Amino acid sequence: MKVVLFCGGLGMRLRDYSDRIPKPLIDIGPRPVLWHLMSYYAHFGHKDFILCLGHGGNAIKNYFLKYDECASNDFVLSGGGHKIDLLHRDIDDWRITFVDTGLQSSIGERLRAVRAHLDGEEMFFANYADGLSSLDLGDYLEYFVERGKLASFLSVPAPHSFHIVEADADDHVIKLEAVGRSVVRINGGFFILRREVLDYIHEGEDLVLEPFDRLIDERQLLAYPYDGFWRNVDTFKDKQALEEMLYRGDTPWQVWRG
């Protein structure tokens, strides 16, 4: 199955950082979050990627055009530094299609822009390209196929440290609860979509607003509950937290490491 990755957003919450590089190229250790996510899909056998580019698109192209396998693989150096024998490779069996989908486009518009590259596909994966998970993609795909619906996304516990406030008519607080401890769940991305979903997206629309409302009305949209590891890279604090996990050797999203 093909994997559509939305790589063109401005990353406003990481503005100081993403002014210099696009959000998907923010490093988690020696490799960007985009590489971690693509490695995740490749582990499950899905290695045909479509990158929907926009802001920072040239930087993403150049990253792969100048890709250095030595950065994350063991190798043997000999011949006075003239010969390199890689012991492992990352991306030599990946197929990556780079598509300029506009600087200001919504997710829905970006998906419409790559429609021709999805010809012949019964279904495909799609992702915001800013989140990582330990989700078993095989189990998730099996669930989706068995249900026979048109679209699905991960439903994950709200991860933020804000507090939900309930107050009475006199503005006295009657309940204060951390979002992360509440029953509130959010759209965690990691979409599986049948190609028919493209017909639900009209010109100028986002994916999770009007098109998903149409799918909801027809009971064609699933929310796959997942309480395992999931984290998006939405702020600089998120980046730091993932890097701290990486340096501790605690990397549940790196399913390819066994």
Instruction: Give residue-wise pLDDT tens across range 209-229.
Output: 899 999 999 999 999 999 999
Domain residue limits, the chain: 2-156+185-257
Whole-number average pLDDT of the chain = 88
In the three-class reduction of DSSP (H, G, I as helix; E, B as strand; rest coil), residue 236 is classed as: helix
For the stretch 145-172, what's the b/e string if a residue is b when 16 or more beta carbons lie within 10 angstroms of its beta carbon? eeeebbbbbbebbbeeeeeeeeeeeeee
pTM above 0.85, yes or no: yes
Q: 109 pLDDT exceeds 90? A: yes
52-71 mean pLDDT? 87
DSSP state of 69: G
Mind listing the pLDDT tens digit for each residue in 11-25? 545 555 545 678 899
Q: 150 pLDDT exceeds 90? A: yes
pLDDT band of 92, cuts 50, 70, 90: confident
What's the maximum distance between 2 C-alpha atoms anywhere in the chain? Answer: 79
Instruction: Measure the CA–CA gap between 125 and 190, rounded to whole angstroms.
Output: 7
91-108 mean pLDDT? 91
Task: Name the one residue in this structure whose structure tokens are 């501790």.
Answer: 248
Fold of the domain spanning 2-156+185-257: Spore Coat Polysaccharide Biosynthesis Protein SpsA; Chain A (3.90.550)
Mind giving me the DSSP string for 82-141?
Answer: TEEEES--SSTT-EEEEEE--SS--HHHHHHHTGGGGTT-SEEEEE-SSEEE---HHHHH
Q: Which residues, 6+ apart, have CB-to-CB distance to 162 below 8 Å?
A: 178, 179
CB atoms within 10 A of CB 214: 17
Q: 72 pLDDT exceeds 60? A: yes
Instruction: Measure the CA–CA gap between 151 and 219, rounded to whole angstroms.
Output: 10
Mind listing the pLDDT tens digit for each residue in 31-43? 999 999 999 999 9
142-169 mean pLDDT? 86
Q: pLDDT value at position 169? A: 81
Q: pLDDT value at position 104? A: 86
